[in-house]
Amino acid sequence: MKSQCTIIDLIPCVDINELSKNGALGGREHTFPYVSLTYSFLSKLRTYRYRVDMRIRGQEMWRRFRIEWTQCTFGGQRPWFICNCGRRVAKIYCGGLFLGCRHCYEGRYTTQKLGPSSRKFRRACQIRLLLGGEPAIRNSFPKRPRGMWQKTYNKLRRECEILEAELRKSKFSRLAPDYTKFRFT
């Protein structure tokens, strides 16, 4: 029997890169009065250059995370959260009353729970969706989308055909399209 683990894709999170792109990690304090519109699990959020303070909805205590900056190869700097466990991470997840990184939750991504054939099927369906088709390998292959380079289309088509050739003999060739398993972000 497989152990029960948290699917990390389903837990809401705060991404340090989004905060950085929005200019929230400047030198001075930034407060977000309408943070619950973006992050429904937070009631308040304050950011500084080297720290982020978060308050979970329904709690009075602030959760504080340090920010560490690393130099990028071609110039600039990249921010990282320092989780309570000491790891340098890009995302802090909130599952209930606890804020932490993926490792603190002992979480797994959706694809880590799939077998080899299921991962191949998922990748083939993602390619089909990317090209504007349906996520079912029994349908005809979609035409090249307008604006996509022919070389890119051929590369994706070749990858998809290799994956589908391996799956033709399995149960996956008979599955109907299921859009709920794919995230459109």
Q: Could you report the per-residue pLDDT of 68-97, keeping only the tens digit for each?
A: 999 999 999 999 999 999 999 999 998 777
Which 8-state DSSP code applies to residue 21?
A: H
Q: Taking all residues of the chain, what is their mean pLDDT, rounded to a whole number?
A: 86
What span, in angstroms and rounded, lies between the C-alpha atoms of 46 and 64? 10
Tell me how far CA of residue 55 lies from CA of 42, 64, 92, 125, 178, in angstroms. 6, 9, 13, 39, 37
Average pLDDT (60-73) is: 93
- The pLDDT value recorded for residue 52 is 92
- The C-alpha R_g of the chain, in whole angstroms, comes to 21
**Interatomic CA distance for residues 125 and 164, integer angstroms:** 10
Q: So what's the pLDDT on residue 154?
A: 96
Q: What are the C-alpha distances in Å from 80 to residues 16, 91, 101, 175?
A: 7, 8, 12, 41
Rounded to an integer, the average pLDDT of 104-128 is 87
User: What pLDDT digit, counting tens, does each position of 130-160 carry?
Assistant: 999 888 777 889 999 999 999 999 999 999 9
Query: What confidence score (pLDDT) does residue 185 get?
Result: 43
Residue 183: the pLDDT is: 56
